Amino acid sequence: MPASIYQMVRDENLKFMRNRDVYNSDYFNFTLSLASVNATKLKHPVYQAMAKESLQLAVHFLFHTYLRTKKKLRVDTEEWMATVEVLLSKSSEACQWLVQYLVGPEGREITKVCLLECSMREIRAVVGAILEKTLESALHFGDPGLDSLTDALLSLLDKDVPENVKNCAQYFSLFSNFAQRGHGPCQLLLKHSAYRRMLIFLLGPNRQNNQNRRWNPAQAREFLHLHTTLAMIALQSDLSTQRTRTHLGAPGSFKLSVGVIPHSTSLLPLNPDILASLFTPEGQPYLMEVMFAMRELSGPLAILIEMVTRCSFCNEPFSLGVLQLLKTQLETAPPHELKNVFQMLQELLVVEDPLQSQRLKYAFESEKGLLALMHQSNNVDSSRCYQCVKFLVTLAQKCAPAKDYFKDLSGHWSWAVQWLQKKMSEHYWTPQSNVSNETSTAKTFQRTISAQDTLAYATALLNEKEQSGSSNGSDGSPANENADRSLRQGSESPMMLGDSKSDLEDVDP
| Secondary structure (3-state) at 268 | strand
Angle between helices 77-90 and 92-103 (to 10 degrees): 110
Helices (DSSP H) in 91-182: which residue ranges?
Answer: 92-103, 105-112, 121-141, 146-154, 160-163, 169-179
Q: How far apart are CA 12 and CA 2, in angstroms?
A: 16
Taking the CA atoms of residue 85, residue 89, residue 92 and residue 95 in that order, the dihedral angle to the nearest 10 degrees is 30
Mean pLDDT throughout 163-190? 96
Burial code (b: 16+ CB inside 10 Å, e: under 16) for 353-371 equals bebbeebbebbbeeeebbb
Q: How far apart are CA 502 and CA 402, in angstroms?
A: 14
CB 23 within 8 A of CB 69: yes
| Secondary structure (3-state) at 377 | helix
The DSSP result for 30-97, as a single string, is: HHHHHHHTTTT-TTSTTHHHHHHHHHHHHHHHHHHTGGGS-GGG---HHHHHHHHHHHHHH-HHHHHH
Supply the mean pLDDT for the chain. Answer: 86
238: Cβ contacts below 8 Å, ≥ 6 apart: 267, 268, 269, 270
| Inter-CA distances, 399 with 38, 322, 413, 454, 505, Å | 57, 20, 18, 16, 15
| Secondary structure (3-state) at 237 | strand
pLDDT in tens, 58-89: 999 999 999 988 888 899 999 999 999 999 99
Rounded percentage of the chain residues whose pLDDT exceeds 70: 84
pLDDT in tens, 322-367: 999 999 999 999 998 999 999 999 999 999 999 999 999 999 999 8
CB 449 within 8 A of CB 508: yes
Helices (DSSP H) in 204-315: which residue ranges?
Answer: 217-220, 224-235, 272-279, 284-296, 302-312
Residue (of 299, 295, 70, 285) closest to 169 by Cα position:
299
Say yes or no to pLDDT of 286 above 90: yes
Q: How many Cα atoms within 13 Å fall on the side-chain side of residue 165?
A: 16
Q: Cα(first)–Cα(last) distance of the chain, in Å?
A: 77
Say yes or no to pLDDT of 21 above 80: no
Q: How confident is the model at residue 451 (pLDDT cuts 50, 70, 90)?
A: confident
| Secondary structure (3-state) at 440 | coil
Task: Please state the φ and ψ torsions of residue 237, each to the nearest 5 degrees.
Answer: -105, 160
pLDDT for the residue numbered 136: 97
Mean pLDDT throughout 406-430? 85
Task: Please state the φ and ψ torsions of residue 238, each to the nearest 5 degrees.
Answer: -80, 100
Mean pLDDT throughout 101-110? 96
Stated pTM of the model? 0.85
Indicate if the alpha-carbon torsion angle 185, 191, 192, 193 is positive or negative: positive
338: Cβ contacts below 8 Å, ≥ 6 apart: 295, 329, 330, 384, 387, 438
| Secondary structure (3-state) at 334 | coil
Angle between helices 92-103 and 146-154 (to 10 degrees): 40
Rounded percentage of the chain residues whose pLDDT exceeds 90: 65
pLDDT for the residue numbered 464: 82
Mean pLDDT throughout 47-55? 96
Amino acid identity for residue 343 in this structure: Q
Q: How confident is the model at residue 188 (pLDDT cuts 50, 70, 90)?
A: very high
CB 383 within 8 A of CB 437: yes
Q: How far apart are CA 181 and CA 485, in angstroms?
A: 52
Long-range contacts of the stretch 44-47 (C-beta < 8 A, 24+): 47/90, 47/91
Q: How many Cα atoms within 13 Å fall on the side-chain side of residue 339?
A: 19
Identify the H or E element spanning 480: helix 478-489
pLDDT for the residue numbered 473: 40
CB 478 within 8 A of CB 417: yes
